[in-house]
A and B are shown apart, each in its own frame.
Chain A
Amino acid sequence: MTAWVTDFAPTTAELNSCVACGLCLPHCPTFRLTGLESASPRGRIAAMKGVAEGVLDLDADFEEAMTFCLNCRACEAVCPSMVPFGRAMEGARAEITAQRPTARRRLRHLLLGRLLSNRGLVGLATDGVRVMQRLGVSRILPGRLGRGLRGLRPLRPVRAPALNGSGPTIGLLVGCVMNKWFSGVNTAAVELLTRAGYRVAIPGEQTCCGALVVHDGGIDEGRRLAAINIRAFDNVDRVVATAAGCSAHLKSYGKVISEGAQIAAGAADITQVIAELIASGKLPTLAADSGDVVLHDPCHLRHAQRSTEPPRQILRAAGYHVIDADPEGLCCGAAGIYSLLRPATSRELGTRLANLIDDRGELVATSNPGCEMQIRSHLDRGYRIAHPIELYLEAIRSSG
C-alpha cells in the first residue's frame, strides 16, 4: 500500500538510500537557520518515508516541511550515500500538488507554465518593467517589490543573435527570463561559441525549460514544456543553457519524461562548454591582469551539477583573480520562486551572502539570473554583477 498518487512520487529506492547518517545537516541552509530536524534533508527524507509507509499523513505539516526546502541540493552534493534528494523533493511536491490542491498553486503553475513560455507575455512584462525603471519607480515601491525591481538589470532591447559557422551545432536554450532580461549573456554565448567554430542554433519554437514549475510541484506543466523543447532541439548536437537552473534541469529531463533522456545526456551549462574550449585552446587564455572578482556559485551548478571549476577557469582565463564569495556554498536564497513564496527566509540568506560579498570586493560574478537578481537586490549600489562569460568576452575585446 502506498500513500502516493502520482507516477512522479519519491520511489522506495530513492528514500531507502538514506541511512540517516546526518552528514548533510550542516550543509543545509534551512537547518543552519533553524536547527530543526524537519528543516533538514534527513528529516525531509524521513518525512517522505513516513508518508510512503503510511505512518505520517500528507498534511499541512508535511507540506510545510517540503515547501520550506530551497531545493538547493546542497545536501545531495555531500551525501556519501548518493541520495537523489532533488528528484525526491520534486516528487514530494508533485504529490502535494495532487493531494492538497489549492487555487493559488494551480494559478501559480498556470502562470509559470504558460506565461513564462509565452514570449509575447514576457515581452509585455519586460516593457512594463523597462518603463518603471526609466521612471525610477523602485525607490518609491514598498520593500519586497522595490527590492525585486532593484534586482533586475537595466533592460536593453534584445538583439537578434547572428547565426553562422559550419562546425557542430549547439542549440542554445535562451531561457524564458534569461533571453529578455539577461540578453547580454546570450549574446556573449553566441559570440564566444561562433568564435570557437560552432554553429549556434536558437530554435524559435523553444520554450521555458520548466525548472521553476517542476520545482514547485507542477509536473504536468513541466512535462508539457519539456516535450516542446525536445521537439524544438531535435536537430542539434547538444543543448546548452546560459542559466545554471536551466542547464541543471535539462540534465534531468530524462527523469521528467522518458523521451528526455537523449537531450539530457548531451546537455551542458555554458560555463562548462566555454571552459572546455579554453582548455583545448579554441578560445584564448589572456595574459591580462583584470583584478579581483568575487564569485558566487549558483546551487544548481555547484550542487546539482557538482560543477565548480568551469566558472573559475573562465575568469582566470580572463585574467581575474577569483575570490570565493562563500566557501561554505550556502544558497543565496533566490531559489527560483522561493524568494516570492518565502520572502523572510530568502531575505535572511540574501543578506548573509551580501555581507560576505561586501567584505570581499566590488565586482561580482555569478552564472544564474535568479542569483544575480537576489545578490543585486541585497547589495548597495556601486557593485557590478555579471556572468563569467560576459567578463571573459569583455576582457578578450579590451585586449584587442
Chain B
Amino acid sequence: MIDELRAALDSDRVMESKLELHLYGRDAGVYRGNPSVVAIPETTEEVVEIVKIAGRHEAPVVARGAGTGLAAGAVPTEGGVVLVTTRMNQIHEIDPVKRTAWVGPGVINLDLSHAAAPYGLYFAPDPSSQAACTVGGNIANNSGGPHCLAEGSTVNHVLALEVVLPDGTLEVIGSEAPDPIGLDLRGVMVGSEGTLGIVTRALVKLTPIAPDIRTLLCSFSSISDAAETVSGVIARGVVPAALEMMDQRIVEAVENWLHAGLPTHAAAILLAEVVGETAAVEAEADLIAEVARANKALEISVAAGEDERALLWKCRKSAFGAVAQAAPNYYLHDTVVPRTRLVETMNKVYEIGRRHDLLMMNVFHAGDGNLHPLMMFDASEPGMIEKVQAAADELVEVCVKAGGALSGEHGIGREKRDLMPLMFNTADLDAQARIKETFDPFGRFNPGKILPAGSRCFDQSGALPPGAWV
C-alpha cells in the first residue's frame, strides 16, 4: 500500500518513519493510536487516490486537520492511513458580493477571517482554537465558539461541500442556495467527524463585521451570581454575541501568563460582548451591566479599545492552554445543560471534583450552557487515569440527567463514544448506524468513532422511528 501511495503522491508526502507515526498518533486530547502510514495530499484528486488505494488494501482512513481536536477524532485508534489536510490550505475564491468563500479543508479558521477582513467580512465560527484549527476540522466537528451564541455553530455557515466518499467517488453536497432542492445532506455531513466523507473543498458563508462592539468584564464573588446574571440577561431578551464564564482557578492561570489585570480575587468572571449599531450596542451593554449589578457584581468594566478587547479574548481563548501550569494533564468535558439548571449543575460538578480529589477548573460558553469542566491531573501517577475516567463519567451523567447533551462542540470521537447510550436509546443509535452504513458500508472512514460497537443492534425495517435523534 505504501508503494502505491508513493506512486500516487510525491514520495516525501507519504511518511512511515517511527517518529512521524508517533507524532500523528494523537491530537490535543488524551487518546493515542498507531497509524500505519501518513499521507499529505495537496489536491482533491490525490485524496481520491489515497481513499481508493486504502480501500483496495482494506485500511481505515482517518482525516486530520490541525489535530486540535479534544475528543480523539483524528486519532487512528484502529490504525490505517492518516490523511492530513494541512497542505490543502488554499482560499480558492472570496465573493464579497454573495459573501461566500470556497476554501480548501486545511485553511486555518483565523486565516480565512483575515483574508476576508479587507471586504468587511469574517468567518463567524470562532472556536477558541481558531488561530490553529482548520475549516475542515470545524466542519467535521460542527465546532462552535464564544460567538456562536448569536451566530450559531459551523453548520449554520456551510453552504456546499465537495466530499470524497468511502468508495472514492467525489460528490458536491448542497449549493449556493440556502435551501437546496432535495434532501439536505449538509446537516448529515457537518458534524460527522470524518466518518462519512472527507471534505476537500467547502463553500462557506462570510458574515459582515459589525459596525460597533462592546465587551464587558464583570466579576462576582460566587459562581451562582455569575450564572444568575447569564440567565437574567437572556431572560431580558438580549442575546449577546458572546457570554463566557471563567472561574477563579482559570483566571489565576491565565493572569499568570498574560498579566492582563484580570480580577483574580473574584470567584468567577463573565465576559459579555454585544455587537451591532452603536445605539443598540450601548443599550444592550447598559442592560447587561444592570443585570450584573442586580446580581451583586463586584466590578463591571467595558473594554476601552480594540487592544483591550483583543487582550480579554486572548485571555479567554488561551484558557485551556494556560491550565497546564497547574498539572501536566487535563481532561476536558464539553457537555451542555439547559441554562436554567446551570447553577445546580455547576455545584454538582465541583462536588464531583472534591469527592474524587481532583482539581476542577471551569471555563465555558455560559450563554448556551456549554460547560467545559477541566480536571487536572498527572497521568504518570498510578491509577490516576481510571480515577479521572470515573469522575468524567459521573460528570456526564449529571449533565445528561439535567436534560443536557454529551457534547456541545468538540465532538464525540473516541472519547465520548461509549457514553452515547446515555443520551440515545437503541432506536436512535440504530438510525445513526444506518446512516453510517449507507455512506460507508465497509466501515473504512474513521472507524471506531462516534458510534459504540453494537449500535446497529436490531433490524427495523421502514422509516426512522419517531423522535429518533440523528
Contacts and interface: CB of A to CB of B under 8 A. Distances in A.
B129 A21 contact: yes
Nearest to A17: B324
B66 A47 contact: no
Interface residues of A, number: 31
A79 to B, nearest CB: 7
A80 B322 contact: yes
A80 B323 CA distance: 8
Nearest to A65: B19
A80 B17 contact: no
A265 interface: no
B108 A26 contact: yes
B330 to A, nearest CB: 6
Nearest to A51: B19
Interface string A14-41: 0011111111111100000001111000
Given A18-B324, A61-B19, A80 B254 contact: yes
Contacts of B445: none
A19 B26 contact: no
B19 A80 contact: no
A8 B319 CA distance: 31
State the majority secondary structure of interface residues on A.
loop
Given A19-B329, A20-B28, A35-B87, A79 B321 contact: yes
B67 A61 contact: no
A61 B17 contact: yes
**Which of A35, A43, A59, A80 lies at the interface centre, i.e. has the most chain B CB atoms within 10 A of its CB?**
A80
Interface string B16-28: 0111101110111
Contacts of A158: none
B469 interface: no
A82 interface: yes
**Which of A16, A27, A55, A65 lies at the interface centre, i.e. has the most chain B CB atoms within 10 A of its CB?**
A16
Given A35-B40, A35-B84, A35-B86, A22 B329 contact: no
Nearest to A328: B114
Interface string A49-71: 01000011101011001000000
Contacts of B24: 37
A19 B320 contact: yes
B231 interface: no
Contacts of B84: 35, 37
A35 B66 CA distance: 9
Q: How large is the interface on B (under 10, 10 to 19, 20 to 34, 35 or more residues)?
A: 35 or more
A57 B328 CA distance: 23
Contacts of B111: 26
B442 interface: no
Contacts of B17: 61
B113 interface: no
Contact of A82 (B66, B132, B257): B257
Interface in A283-337: none
A23 B19 CA distance: 21
A264 interface: no
Nearest to A82: B257
A99 interface: no
Interface string B30-45: 0000000000100000
B68 interface: yes
A81 interface: yes
A353 interface: no
B328 A23 contact: no
B115 interface: no
A55 B19 CA distance: 9
B132 A22 contact: yes
A56 B318 contact: no
Given A19-B330, A21-B28, A23-B132, A50 B19 contact: yes
B89 interface: yes
A22 B67 contact: yes
Nearest to B30: A20
A23 B18 contact: no
A27 B132 CA distance: 9
B22 A56 contact: yes
Contacts of A55: 22
A155 B97 CA distance: 55
Contact of A38 (B19, B131, B322): B19
B168 interface: no
B321 A19 contact: yes
Contact of B23 (A17, A23, A27, A46): A46
A186 B160 CA distance: 60
A35 B13 CA distance: 10
A361 B374 CA distance: 48
Contacts of B318: 23, 80
Given A16-B328, A19-B324, A23-B321, A35 B257 contact: no
Nearest to B109: A26
A19 B23 contact: no
Contacts of A18: 324
Contacts of B133: 22
B328 to A, nearest CB: 4
B60 interface: no
A56 B25 CA distance: 13
Interface in B207-259: 254, 257
A26 B131 contact: yes
B106 interface: yes
A141 B201 CA distance: 47
Contacts of B27: 20, 22
B104 to A, nearest CB: 11
A36 B131 CA distance: 17
A47 B23 contact: yes
B278 interface: no
Contacts of A82: 257, 322, 325
B20 A37 contact: yes
Contacts of A22: 27-28, 66-68, 129, 132-133
Nearest to B133: A22
A19 B28 contact: yes
A35 B325 contact: no
Interface in B310-324: 318-324
A46 B89 contact: no
Given A23-B131, A81-B325, A57 B18 contact: yes
Nearest to A55: B22
Nearest to A47: B19
A329 to B, nearest CB: 13
B254 A56 contact: no
Interface string B323-352: 111001110000000000000000000000
A47 B129 CA distance: 22
Contacts of B106: 35
A55 B20 CA distance: 12
Interface string B150-162: 0000000000000
A43 B26 CA distance: 10
**Which of A38, A55, A81 lies at the interface centre, i.e. has the most chain B CB atoms within 10 A of its CB?**
A81
A26 B86 CA distance: 11
A37 B40 CA distance: 11
A23 B70 CA distance: 13
Among all A-B residue pairs, the 5 with the closest Cβ atoms: A80-B321, A35-B86, A80-B318, A81-B324, A16-B328
Given A35-B40, A81-B325, 11 more contacts: A17-B328, A20-B28, A36-B40, A37-B20, A37-B23, A37-B67, A47-B22, A56-B18, A61-B17, A79-B321, A82-B257
21 contacts: A17-B324, A19-B328, A19-B330, A20-B28, A22-B27, A22-B133, A23-B132, A23-B321, A26-B108, A26-B111, A35-B40, A35-B84, A35-B86, A35-B106, A36-B20, A36-B86, A43-B23, A61-B20, A80-B324, A81-B322, A82-B325
